[in-house]
């Protein structure tokens, strides 16, 4: 008789039928993801596991456990202090990634930001890595390179492939399986440089409580909101509800719309050079309000302002006072 595979128990927990199926505990989720990333699960088991989770939808305990399991498998070293972890895993389809300017403005004002993400998993989207490269801003090769870049410019972007290629392989299963998997959710929570606070952007409202709940379980102060295209970017033509865990409990913050016209058409050209042009003074109401609005949420999370109103004012001042020399020019020789 063939002995049961060690990973089979985790598939079975999720597939016992309507009355016996249950969610994984945090410890079970942690162990199962560590097993996957250590190569201790078979491909058939991984596919079944991910799709069973997708069918039932993840819990905060599972997302927190998967995050811890991935960190265990990566055996992350310690890095110099980073202020803010910023994930970018969705890609943009209707609007340019204006949040990149928000992050560059934070860096210009002394905030150390580590950004990580992925690309290419969904057709028709513009991804952060490609945008940064087109705008002459270097992309880090690995975590050590990212730490060096943060030391020089207060900012670094590192693709997931550069610090956990096995997770990237799981994300690349999306066109094979036809659906996103929990990896798309918990990769955003990895915070590999152990930043003091993290920002999260989601597309579906139902994931806000999952991310916020996972943040509490991880003791990881964060702010999560429904961002444009699923990225960390306020839609200035719409009110925004942000869930924050910085206080050790979940607090809802209301951010008002910044534009009177609630309807904004999709950007048909998606010309990323427009980001550089707006930074250097070209007028674009939607772009500027998106940059300022997103920046305000980050400033509130970082403790730079006590109220949403003060954060909004400070963000506007920082935008108005920015050095309009394009930051990428400094790094062209890198």
Final residue belonging to a domain, choices 52, 74, 96: 74
The answer on 65 and 151 residing in a single domain is no
| Domains contained in the chain, number | 2
More confident residue, 334 or 55: 55
Final residue belonging to a domain, choices 24, 39, 74: 74
| Contact (CB, 8 A) for 240 and 225 | yes
CA distance 217 to 275: 37
The answer on 193 and 92 residing in a single domain is yes
Dihedral of alpha carbons 246, 194, 275, 162, sign: negative
Q: How far is CA 10 from CA 20, 31, 103, 144, 183, in A?
A: 13, 9, 39, 34, 16
Please indicate, yes or no, if residue 15 is contained in any of the structural domains: yes
- Per-residue pLDDT at 178: 85
Residue 255 belongs to domain spanning: 84-331
CA distance 32 to 52: 14
- Per-residue pLDDT at 332: 41
Q: How far is CA 4 from CA 9, 10, 12, 46, 151, in A?
A: 8, 12, 11, 16, 49
Please indicate, yes or no, if residue 309 is contained in any of the structural domains: yes
- Per-residue pLDDT at 330: 44
Residue 86 burial class via C-beta count within 10 angstroms: exposed 0-12, middle 13-18, buried 19 and up: buried
Find the largest Cα–Cα distance for the chain: 73
Instruction: Read off the pLDDT of each residue in 237-257 and give the average, rounded to a whole number.
Output: 93
Please indicate, yes or no, if residue 176 is contained in any of the structural domains: yes
Final residue belonging to a domain, choices 21, 47, 74: 74
Please indicate, yes or no, if residue 215 is contained in any of the structural domains: yes
Give the model confidence (pLDDT) of 191-225 as tens digits. Answer: 999 999 999 999 877 789 999 999 999 999 999 99
Give the model confidence (pLDDT) of 275-329 as tens digits. Answer: 999 999 999 999 999 999 999 999 999 999 999 999 999 999 999 999 999 998 5
> Which residues have CB under 8 Å from 134's CB, separation 6+?
272, 273
pLDDT higher than threshold 90 for residue 68 = yes
CATH number for position 67: 1.20.970.10
| Separation of CA 321 from chain center | 27
The answer on 150 and 54 residing in a single domain is no
List the one residue out of 222, 231, 202, 203 whose CA is nearest residue 101: 231
CATH number for position 249: 3.40.1030.10
pLDDT higher than threshold 80 for residue 46 = yes
More confident residue, 330 or 308: 308
The answer on 320 and 235 residing in a single domain is yes
Give the model confidence (pLDDT) of 107-129 as tens digits. Answer: 999 999 999 999 877 777 899 99
């Amino acid at each position: 008789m063939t002995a049961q595979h060690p990973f089979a128990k985790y598939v079975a927990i999720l597939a016992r039928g309507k009355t016996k199926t249950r969610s994984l505990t945090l410890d079970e989720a942690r162990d199962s993801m560590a097993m996957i990333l250590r190569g201790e699960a078979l491909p058939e088991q991984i596919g079944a596991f991910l799709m069973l989770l997708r069918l039932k939808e993840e819990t905060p305990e599972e997302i927190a456990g998967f995050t811890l399991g991935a960190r265990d498998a990566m055996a992350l070293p310690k890095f110099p202090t980073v202020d803010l972890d910023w994930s970018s895993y969705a890609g943009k389809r209707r609007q340019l990634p204006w949040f990149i300017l928000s992050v560059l403005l934070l860096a210009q004002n002394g905030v150390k930001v580590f950004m990580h993400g992925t690309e290419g998993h969904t057709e028709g989207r513009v991804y952060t890595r490609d945008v940064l490269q087109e705008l002459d801003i270097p992309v880090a090769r690995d975590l050590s390179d990212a730490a060096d870049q943060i030391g020089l410019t207060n900012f670094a972007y590192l693709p997931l492939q550069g610090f956990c290629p096995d997770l990237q392989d799981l994300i690349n299963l999306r066109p094979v399986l036809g659906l996103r998997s929990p990896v798309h959710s918990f990769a955003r929570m990895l915070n590999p440089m152990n930043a003091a606070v993290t920002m999260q952007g989601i597309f579906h409202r139902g994931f806000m409580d999952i991310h916020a709940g996972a943040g509490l379980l991880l003791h990881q102060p964060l702010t999560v909101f429904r961002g444009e295209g699923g990225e960390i970017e306020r839609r200035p033509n719409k009110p925004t509800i942000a869930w924050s865990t910085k206080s050790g409990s979940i607090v809802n913050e209301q951010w008002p719309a910044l534009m009177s016209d609630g309807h904004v058409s999709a950007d048909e050209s998606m010309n990323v050079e427009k980001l550089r042009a707006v930074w250097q003074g070209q007028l674009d109401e939607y772009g500027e309000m998106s940059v300022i609005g997103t920046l305000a949420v980050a400033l509130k999370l970082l403790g730079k302002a006590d109220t949403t109103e003060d954060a909004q004012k400070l963000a506007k001042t920082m935008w108005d006072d920015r050095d309009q020399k394009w930051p990428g020019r400094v790094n062209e020789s890198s």
